[in-house]
Amino acid sequence: MSSAIDIAASVQSGERSAIEVLEEHLGAIAERESEVHAFNLVTTDQAIAAATAVDELVAKGGPLGPLAGVPVAIKDNLCTRGVATTCSSKILEGWVPPYDATVVTRLAAAGAIMVGKTNMDEFAMGSSTENSAFGPTRNPHDLSRVPGGSSGGSAAAVAAGFAPISLGSDTGGSIRQPAALCGVVGVKPTYGTVSRLGLVAFGSSLDQVGPFANTVAEAALVCEVIGGHDPGDSTSLPQAFPAVSEHLSDGVQGMRIGLITEMMGEGIAPDVAKRIRAAAEWLAAAGAEVEEVSVPAVTYGLSAYYLVAPAEASSNLSRYDGVRYGLRVDAPTTGEMMELTRTAGFGDEVKRRIMLGTYALSAGYYDAFYGTALKVRTLIRRDFDAAYERFDALLSPTSPTTAFSFGDKTADPMSMYLNDVCTIATNLAGHPAMSVPYGLGDDGMPVGAQVLAPALGEVAMFRVAAALEGSLV
């Protein structure tokens, strides 16, 4: 399959039609979707209409966007006007939003063609896409293994060739971890650089939208298309997304890169650590100053996250009450109706996190749990800031292991939560990070190298990522 950049160039030049490109990708979906299950919904009719409109614009010589004719898959927690948005939950099954998320609008304005809504862990709560109400997504590299989560469908869609780019959301690693497990590029931008308007909220101070792609250059282009200020999002920064595409060939000569000590020890599989050390050695050979750096507070990231995120989730998910939209289970009283609706509509993991968050926010426990977690969050940010006084970017594994088999971790929530141990701290800090494929583990499955940078440090992050990618060519 061609890259998004090549597809757009060929459509813009008239070498290929958007319809031809779409049919090629719909053919790939028809061939493997039944075994991979990347999508909750394939939007064939809407995609054909959008591709036809692009071809008509080409024929007229009209202005074309940088993603003209490029198929894109959208995570099913991003609102799409007239197209069901379920968050892979029974409680929203069949709900059709009356508006598009800002990132969906911007992709369409750039000429991209939505081919479907991708499967995910319910309300983005999970690390394996086993928590979907509509069944799991499978890793295209090995169907017996998970694709990661919560954006597993979006990662699998790109890895399987169903679309060259896709969008996901990242609250504690939900873009980067599945990108690592599926062997694709995944980006979590700085909090506030990409609009959250139309993203169904999980943890409002943590959630961020970002792309999956096969290459760093494609991911950079998508970030520039979807990023930038949105007056409809009160947390949106009033500035354009950094012009990262201009710096992908700058190399790493003279850059200072720190290998995070706390993310290379206990809990990290030896074959994963070996690949990350190889990445560090290559960066040093390419002219970067590379040395280990301690970021002590990241070891508390998991504990803090599983108080902050469930607390915000318990507030955000209180809107699903059976009254205004989605599932409704009738009962004699309003209270009983809400209880029955939520019991039937939410899965076990969502219920677990709502209860955790409600407990952490309850009177008598607020200061001990949620308040303390916020203090730890501040410590994490300070420790990162101290590291970034010495280094331009940081390096770590994205996931502690390669993709694991279905059912391996579902019986023990804590073992599942540990899959995000390398990614969570970035969300708590609000900083950017991305995963780049960096070879294979001992089992032949992809390993992801995580590149981290300070807030608004995307240029440095993409320079390092592009260099790592180039080292494997």
Q: Which of 150, 236, 399, 435 is catalytic?
A: 150
d(CA 368, CA 147): 36
In a domain, 448, yes or no: no
Report residue 104 as tokens. 């969906």
Residue 410 has what pLDDT? 86
d(CA 66, CA 47): 18
Asked whether 410 and 356 are in contact (CB, 8 A), the reply is: no
Q: What pLDDT, in 10s, does the model give residues 78-93?
A: 999 999 999 999 999 8
Residue 319 has what pLDDT? 94
d(CA 465, CA 448): 11
In a domain, 239, yes or no: yes
Amino acid at 199: L
Percent of the chain with pLDDT over 90: 95
Reported confidence tier of residue 183, pLDDT bands at 50, 70, 90: very high
Nearest one of 113, 45, 118 to 78, comparing CA atoms = 118
In a domain, 322, yes or no: no
Report residue 430 as tokens. 């609000």
Q: What pLDDT, in 10s, does the model give residues 37-76?
A: 999 999 999 999 999 999 999 999 989 999 999 999 999 9
Q: Which of 10, 75, 127, 195 is catalytic?
A: 75
Q: Is the peptide bond before 150 cis (omega within 30 degrees of 0)?
A: yes
d(CA 229, CA 320): 29
d(CA 56, CA 138): 37
Nearest one of 472, 433, 470, 473 to 252, comparing CA atoms = 470
Report residue 208 as tokens. 């961020």
* Ramachandran category for residue 407: left, alpha or beta (phi over 0 → left; psi -120 to 50 → alpha): left
Percent of the chain with pLDDT over 70: 100
In a domain, 125, yes or no: yes
- Greatest Cα pair distance, the chain, in angstroms, is 71
Residues 6+ apart with CB under 8 A from 352: 413
* Residue 446 confidence (pLDDT) above 70: yes
d(CA 276, CA 401): 12
Tell me, letter by letter, the H, E, C secondary structure of the chain. CCCHHHHHHHHHHCCCCHHHHHHHHHHHHHHHHHHHCCEEEECHHHHHHHHHHHHHHHHHCCCCCCCCCCEEEEECCECECCECCCCCCHHHCCCCCCCCCHHHHHHHHCCCEEEEEECCCHHHCCCCCCCCCCCCCCECCECCECCCCCCHHHHHHHHCCCCCEEEEECCCCCCHHHHHHHCCEEEECCCCCECCCCECCCCCCCCCEEEEECCHHHHHHHHHHHECCCCCCCCCCCCCCCCHHHHCCCCCCCCEEEEEHHHCCCCCCHHHHHHHHHHHHHHHHCCCEEEEECCHHHHHHHHHHHHHHHHHHHHHHHHCCCCCCCCCCCCCCHHHHHHHHHHHHCCHHHHHHHHHHHHHHCCCCCHHHHHHHHHHHHHHHHHHHHHHHHCCEEEEECCCCCCCECCCCCCCHHHHHHHHCCCHHHHHHCCCEEEEEEEECCCCCEEEEEEECCCCCHHHHHHHHHHHHHHCC
* Residue 106 confidence (pLDDT) above 80: yes
* Residue 438 confidence (pLDDT) above 80: yes
Residue 415 has what pLDDT? 86
Mean pLDDT, residues 279-287 = 98
Residue 180 has what pLDDT? 98
Q: What pLDDT, in 10s, does the model give residues 127-175?
A: 999 999 999 999 999 999 999 999 999 999 999 999 999 999 999 999 9
Q: How far is CA 323 from the centre of its chain?
A: 30
CATH of the domain at 133: 3.90.1300.10
* Residue 1 confidence (pLDDT) above 80: no
* Number of folded domains that form the chain: 1
Residue 157 has what pLDDT? 98
Residues 6+ apart with CB under 8 A from 468: 279, 282, 283, 436, 438, 449, 451
Judge whether 150 counts as a catalytic residue: yes
In a domain, 345, yes or no: no
Asked whether 452 and 394 are in contact (CB, 8 A), the reply is: yes
Residue 473 has what pLDDT? 64
Mean pLDDT, the chain, rounded, equals 97
Domain that holds residue 224: 4-247
Residue 238 has what pLDDT? 97
Asked whether 297 and 416 are in contact (CB, 8 A), the reply is: no
Residue 93 has what pLDDT? 85
In a domain, 295, yes or no: no
Q: Which of 151, 174, 195, 314 is catalytic?
A: 174
Predicted TM-score of the model (pTM):
0.97
In a domain, 381, yes or no: no
d(CA 354, CA 8): 43
Q: What pLDDT, in 10s, does the model give residues 220-239?
A: 999 999 999 999 999 999 99
In a domain, 232, yes or no: yes
Q: Exposure of 59 by Cβ count < 10 A (0-12 exposed, 13-18 middle, 19+ buried)?
A: exposed
d(CA 147, CA 150): 9
Report residue 131 as tokens. 């928590």
d(CA 129, CA 74): 15
Q: Is 213 helix (H, G, I), strand (E, B) or coil?
A: strand
Mean pLDDT, residues 185-194 = 98
Judge whether 174 counts as a catalytic residue: yes
Task: Map tokens 């981290």 to a residue.
Answer: 452
